Amino acid sequence: MKKLLGIIKNKWLIKGTTTLILVAIIIALYILLNWGVEKINLEDLDLTEKKLYSLSDETKDKIANLDTDITIQLINMGDYSYVTDYAKKYTQQSDKIQIEEVGDLSSRVDLMTKYSLDSTDSLIVVKNGDKEKTLSISDLYTIDYSTYEQIDTTEEALTNAIVEVTLDEKPKIYILTGSTYYNTEQALASIVSNLEEESNEVEYLDMLTTGSVPEDCDCLMITTLEKDITELERDKIIEYIQNGGNIMMLTSQNIVEDETPNFDQVLAQYGISIGYGAIFEQDSSKMLQNAPEFVITEVNASFLQDIDMTLKMCLTDPGKIEFADEDKLTELGVEYETIAQTGDTSFVRTNFDLSSYTRTDEDSEEGASIVGALVTKTISDDVQSELIIYSNEICASNLQVPISSQYYMYAVDLHNNRDVILNSISHLTERDDTITIRKTGEYEQYTVTEQEDTIIKTIIFLLPVLVIGVGIVVWQLRRRK
């Protein structure tokens, strides 16, 4: 032992001057390493399942083929270093994107004047030549008013700003008003906000004022009617169709008893009719929280084929979309593909005074029903009109749906409702770049069917009990030996 201590005492490491030099070298190497990593701007490792701290595949796809230089100008971001860090992720994905940091705004009177800023204000400016999009800090988050949680939307805001300044022209979407059952500005506020964030222009259209569908309309959105449209509106919408106009239809007309002969003629252009009555599910795996009127259906469409996951919609009291026979469709020049349909045991109910959730003799026969479709009408060799129709407007609305006694969700946030609606409009406006699954907040809503809920609870509670039970039995058997 004494010999070992003697060896250690003679080692150079215990000498004071040498030790200080070694410590200094280690500190210098640490500083140099950090400086080098900062300079080469390495991409952070993100081990979260949903890649919450890195750019989503959606963003990477959108900026992958940039053919113009983009500058992200960060003004007074000293208190918001996370914004700077996030912006740098874009430069790691594309050499067309660069960052310009302005730390001392008081020395940039030009920027203060141009953007009406005080010396302490913060701002993000995304630039492409003469095109600019400004973002304030408040544009980088939103509030989920069902949970009152703040949701970070930094990536969404920056990506949409880049897309907007690289677009030659924003698609124009008009929402028909005047005869609607719901107040569209309130009911569809969330979807409209998403559309505008994704670089679309959205306007409300009263054809009794304008006299026609505007020529710059890329997509006309028609929702549930409180009363029938006028003959003028009918004729102008049919004229719009004949000129190759595209329509997005979200209609719960099946639960409104008023006759709508003019609106029916618009549907007839595509060989469609929607009867009175709501579809109820009987398969517990296809309904929300054991409520048959909340129908869950898988969504499949040709324009969604690049999305590598199964999409689902939750429709509330949807109607049955029926198509004319093949001869009539051929005469109309119409072809269609089913986007969403109910289960084989679902049925249509027309007597809403019935309290039973199971099928009665007053209900229709069991059978699958179409609740979403993509319809293509060929007008001439070079002119086509497309219609995407969902026989439910509530699925796209801010209607509060109770999930428990203390918690609710907006109908548009159930399953993939939001993405399906937005992607459908993207298809109609020829914006394939925005057909995707959008990145959500840092938590998942628990919305499952009764069958899925039973399976999950069985795994969580029964499996541990089973393992413990087996352990006890094995222990007892070994004791007896």
Q: For 458-474, how does the pLDDT look when each residue is reduced to its tens digit (9 = 90+)?
A: 666 666 666 676 667 66
CATH number, domain with residue 100 = 3.40.30.10
Is 12 part of a structural domain of the chain? yes
Which of 23-32, 133-142, 210-219 has the weakest average pLDDT?
23-32
Q: Residue 444 — very low, low, confident or very high, per pLDDT cuts 50/70/90?
A: very low
Is 47 part of a structural domain of the chain? no
Residues 179 and 116 in one domain: no
Is the model's pLDDT at 455 over the cut of 70?
no
Is 402 part of a structural domain of the chain? yes
Is 403 part of a structural domain of the chain? yes
Q: In degrees to the nearest 10, what's the CA dihedral of 471, 472, 478, 481? A: -150
- 4-20 per-residue burial string, b: 16 or more CB within 10 A, e: under 16: eeeeeeeeeeeeeeeee
Is 118 part of a structural domain of the chain? yes
The per-residue pLDDT for 12 is 44
The residue among 389, 408, 390 whose CA lies nearest residue 398 is 408
Strand-pair category, 219-223 with 247-250 = parallel
Residues 356 and 234 in one domain: yes
Segments forming the whole domain that contains residue 425: 170-447
Residues 468 and 443 in one domain: no
Q: For 316-340, how does the pLDDT look when each residue is reduced to its tens digit (9 = 90+)?
A: 999 999 999 999 999 999 999 999 9
Strand-pair category, 272-274 with 321-323 = antiparallel
The answer to whether the CB of 142 falls within 8 A of the CB of 151 is yes
Residues 231 and 256 in one domain: yes
Is 240 part of a structural domain of the chain? yes
Residues 315 and 247 in one domain: yes
Residues 117 and 200 in one domain: no
Residues 323 and 386 in one domain: yes
Number of domains in the chain: 4
The answer to whether the CB of 248 falls within 8 A of the CB of 222 is yes
Is the model's pLDDT at 38 over the cut of 70?
no
Q: For 96-145, how does the pLDDT look when each residue is reduced to its tens digit (9 = 90+)?
A: 999 999 988 888 989 999 999 998 899 999 999 888 999 999 888 876 65
- Kindly state the average pLDDT of the residues 402-410: 80
Residues 368 and 227 in one domain: yes
CA 390 to chain CA mean position, Å: 17
Tokens for 450, please give them: 């009764």
- The residue count of the chain comes to 481
**CA distance to 110, 375, 468, 472, 477, per residue, from 480 (Å):** 88, 73, 19, 13, 5
CATH number, domain with residue 326 = 3.40.50.880
Residues 306 and 194 in one domain: yes
Residues 124 and 22 in one domain: no
Contacts of 352 (CB under 8 A, 6+ apart): 278
CA distance 138 to 134: 12
Residues 198 and 114 in one domain: no
Is 51 part of a structural domain of the chain? no
Is the model's pLDDT at 435 over the cut of 50?
yes
Residues 365 and 330 in one domain: yes
Strand-pair category, 149-152 with 291-299 = unpaired
Is 165 part of a structural domain of the chain? no
**Cβ count within 10 A of residue 42:** 10
